């Protein structure tokens, strides 16, 4: 009887397990169905209104832009229009160029990164001939320029070489000579009808990479060098050029601490600069005592992706940096077309044939409308859209909304607090998988002159351009 009893004991257990498995599957299916139904209903429900608070101002915007270093002279006026024109192009308003300290041909070759190469020389510094041409084309379109050095002359580096890593040899003689080299650069540009608004002490003084010209500095060395550079700029007649520090690689600012703790040195610092590598969502801006904070370089070195997926990554980054109070946001390089390196990656705003990636148009969603001197204004937003708003002269405004979701934000309402726009309409401009900084039919405001609604497409960036009364 024991075998029968044993079987009798096992059968109910198998039935119980089957029942529980089916019950579990049923619960999962019901949950998934409920989730899908809930998401469907959520998408149909009106989102909470987004308020633009006109009278609560934040930082002043100094611009949006990119760098041009090591370019050939093939860059054309038509390309310049595509990048810099605020009417027919992206409207980039800042260009970062490279100052080459020293006069040797080897220094020029390092910076050019292409063959053949040539540089335009001044008294103690030089610039790539292609970079100079782009700077002239940009300036003719109202773009402001600023400069950064990648390396001091080889004699001032521990490696004794320009085209590799090393650390600066810090002493009074080197500081004085190097400051004179850098301070000669504005005169070189002036001879070609150009000027710079700022100069950085060193590009990424925290980075040591033997594959290209890098140079590391300590916080004490930066502190000690700044007075020499300030004095040299004043002596050369360009004392109005602002000195930027520390321009580290990953939105860290430790290398400026000693300079900012010394009031005599801090008085010579005009800008706080940093790069955004590896920091998509910064926690905040460094203490600046009123100095503008510029994010001056970031890119993606991975395999080329010109799609909206990649563009939304940068839309989120721009939103995040603007939201914490940055005055500038810049991508690394303009155009990969006429260059021999940066092959098949995302280091530029274009592909290898000079075609714009979607990230270029996303940058244009800001740069084209939010001009230097505009101010960010406060936004009250409880939804999932990423929204910042800005005001300019004559009650002009721009509201940038990024929808990173796979579904549209239907009939999203925007409320203008402290401003009415009864005499004009709001024009949406869209970048998405199917649109590239494309204007849409104007949207009428409601009778109160303060409210309008619009459906933000899935995975898109929309800029609303308007003007108040």
How many other CB atoms are there within 10 angstroms of residue 159's CB atom?
Answer: 17
**366 and 281, same structural domain?**
yes
In a domain, 353, yes or no: yes
Question: Does residue 71 share a domain with residue 51?
Answer: no
What pLDDT does residue 72 have? Answer: 83
Domain check: are 103 and 122 in the same one?
yes
- CB-based contact 305:351 (threshold 8 Å): no
Distance of CA 315 to the CA centre of its chain: 9
Asked if residue 309 is part of any domain, the answer here is: yes
Whether 328 and 219 share a structural domain: yes
Both structure tokens of 233: 């700029």
Dist CA 159 CA 169 (whole Å): 10
Tell me how many domains the chain contains: 2
Q: Do residues 368 and 380 share a domain?
A: no
Rounded CA separation 74/76 (Å): 6
Q: What is the DSSP letter of 279?
A: -
Q: Which domain holds residue 388?
A: 47-56+376-467
Encode pLDDT of 330-386 as tens digits. 999 999 886 656 678 999 999 999 999 999 999 999 999 999 999 999 999 999 999
Q: Closest by alpha carbon to 93, among 294, 310, 298? A: 294
What's the Cα-to-Cα distance from 32 to each of 18, 19, 29, 171, rounded to whole Å?
21, 20, 5, 68
Q: Give a yes or no: residue 97 inside a domain.
A: yes
Going by the DSSP 8-state scheme, the letter that residue 292 receives in this structure is -
Rounded CA-CA distance 184/99 in Å is 10
Beta bridge partners of 376: 390
Local confidence band at 106 (pLDDT 50, 70, 90 cut-offs): confident
Is the separation of the CB atoms in 409 and 45 below 8 Å?
no
Model confidence at 27, in pLDDT bands (50, 70, 90)? Answer: low
Considering 372, 388, 418, which residue would you say is the last residue of a domain?
372
Q: How far apart are CA 200 and CA 225, in angstroms?
A: 12
Establish if 15 belongs to a structural domain.
Answer: no
Q: pLDDT of 287-344, one tens digit each? A: 999 999 999 999 999 999 999 999 999 999 999 999 999 999 999 999 988 665 667 8
Give the bridge partners for 380, in sequence order.
51
Residue, of 341 and 462, whose pLDDT is higher: 462
State the pLDDT at residue 50.
98
- Average pLDDT on 390-400 reads 97
pLDDT at 9: 34
In a domain, 37, yes or no: no
Q: Is 454 inside any structural domain? A: yes
Mean pLDDT, to the nearest integer, of 123-144?
97
Q: Which of 357, 372, 387 is the last residue of a domain?
A: 372
Same-domain check for residues 300 and 326:
yes
Residue 421, domain CATH: 2.60.40.1180
Does residue 23 carry a pLDDT above 90?
Answer: no
pLDDT band at residue 198 under the 50/70/90 scheme:
very high
Same domain, 356 and 391: no
User: 3-class DSSP state for residue 40?
Assistant: helix
Same domain, 421 and 285: no
> Where is the domain boundary, 308, 337, 372?
372
Claim to verify: residue 313 and residue 421 sit in the same structural domain: no
Query: Span 221-245, mean pLDDT?
Result: 98
- According to DSSP, residue 154 is labeled G
Assigned domain for 396 exists: yes
CATH number of the domain residue 268 falls in: 3.20.20.80
**Can you tell me the distance from the alpha carbon of 180 to that of 185, in angstroms, rounded to the nearest whole number?**
9
Same domain, 70 and 154: yes
Task: State residue 2's pLDDT score.
Answer: 36
From residue 6, how far is each of 3, 12, 14, 16, 392 by CA, in Å?
5, 11, 13, 16, 85
pLDDT at 11 over 60: no
Q: Is residue 91 part of a domain?
A: yes
Report helix angle 358-367 to 308-324, nearest 10. 30
CA dist., res. 234 & res. 58, Å (int): 32
Residue 341: per-residue pLDDT: 62
pLDDT classification of 415: cutoffs 50, 70, 90: very high
pLDDT given for residue 358 in this prediction: 98
pLDDT at 423: 78
DSSP β-ladder status, 94-101 and 63-68:
parallel
Rounded Cα gap, residues 351 and 307, in angstroms: 11
Q: How confident is the model at residue 28 (pLDDT cuts 50, 70, 90)?
A: low
Range name among 193-207, 252-266, 412-426 with the lowest pLDDT average: 412-426
Do residue 258 and residue 333 come from a single domain? yes
pLDDT band at 26 (very low <50, low <70, confident <90, very high): low
Q: CA angle 426-429-433, nearest 5°?
A: 150
- % of the chain residues with pLDDT over 90: 81
Asked if residues 370 and 64 have their Cβ atoms less than 8 Å apart, the reply is: yes
If you ran DSSP here, which 8-state letter would residue 241 be given? S
For range 401-417, the mean pLDDT: 97
Residue 25 pLDDT > 70: no
pLDDT grade, residue 93 (50/70/90)? very high
Instruction: Round to whole Å and give the CA distance between 316 and 314.
Output: 5
Region of poorest pLDDT, from 238-242, 256-260, 305-309, 421-425:
421-425
Q: Do 126 and 232 share a domain, yes or no?
A: yes
- Beta-ladder partners of 399: 389, 464
Q: Residue 432 has which token pair?
A: 């998405």
């Amino acid at each position: 009887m024991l075998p029968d009893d044993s079987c009798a004991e096992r059968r109910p257990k198998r039935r119980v397990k089957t029942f529980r498995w089916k019950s579990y599957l049923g619960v999962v299916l019901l949950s998934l169905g409920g989730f899908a139904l809930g998401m469907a209903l959520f998408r149909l429900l009106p989102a909470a209104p987004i308020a633009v608070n006109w009278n609560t101002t934040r930082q002043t915007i100094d611009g949006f832009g990119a760098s041009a270093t090591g370019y050939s002279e093939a860059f054309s006026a038509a390309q310049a229009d595509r990048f810099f024109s605020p009417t027919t192009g992206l409207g980039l308003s800042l260009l970062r160029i490279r100052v080459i300290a020293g006069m040797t041909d080897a220094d020029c070759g390092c910076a050019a990164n292409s063959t053949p190469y040539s540089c335009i020389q001044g008294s103690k510094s030089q610039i790539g001939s292609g970079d100079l041409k782009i700077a002239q084309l940009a300036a003719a379109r109202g773009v402001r320029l600023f400069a950064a050095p990648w390396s001091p002359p080889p004699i001032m580096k521990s490696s004794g070489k320009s085209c590799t890593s090393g650390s600066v040899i810090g002493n009074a003689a080197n500081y004085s000579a190097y400051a004179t080299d850098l301070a000669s650069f504005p005169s070189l540009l002036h001879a070609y009808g150009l000027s710079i608004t700022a100069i950085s002490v060193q590009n990424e003084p925290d980075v040591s990479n033997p594959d290209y010209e890098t140079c590391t500095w300590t916080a004490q060395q930066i502190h000690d060098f700044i007075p020499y550079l300030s004095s040299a700029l004043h002596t050369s007649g360009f004392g109005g050029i602002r000195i930027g520090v520390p321009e580290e690689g990953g939105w860290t600012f430790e290398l400026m601490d000693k300079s900012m703790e010394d009031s005599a040195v801090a008085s010579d610092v005009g800008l706080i600069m940093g790069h955004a590598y590896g920091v998509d969502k910064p926690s905040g801006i460094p203490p600046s005592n009123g100095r503008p904070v510029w994010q001056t370089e970031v890119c993606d070195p991975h395999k080329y992706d010109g799609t909206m997926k990649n563009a939304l990554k940068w839309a989120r980054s721009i939103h995040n940096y603007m939201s914490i109070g940055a005055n500038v946001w810049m991508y690394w390089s303009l155009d990969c077309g006429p260059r021999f390196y940066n092959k098949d990656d995302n280091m530029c705003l274009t592909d290898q044939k000079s075609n714009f990636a979607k990230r270029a148009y996303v940058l244009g969603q800001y740069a084209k409308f939010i001009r230097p001197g505009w101010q960010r204004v406060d936004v009250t937003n409880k939804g999932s859209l990423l929204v910042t708003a800005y005001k300019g002269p004559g009650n002009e405004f721009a509201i940038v909304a990024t929808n990173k979701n796979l579904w549209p934000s239907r009939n999203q309402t925007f409320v203008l607090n402290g401003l009415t726009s009864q005499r004009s309409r709001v024009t949406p401009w869209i970048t998405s998988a199917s649109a590239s900084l494309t204007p849409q039919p104007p949207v009428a405001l409601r009778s109160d002159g303060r409210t309008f609604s619009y459906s933000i497409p899935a995975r898109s960036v929309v800029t609303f351009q308007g003007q108040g009364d």
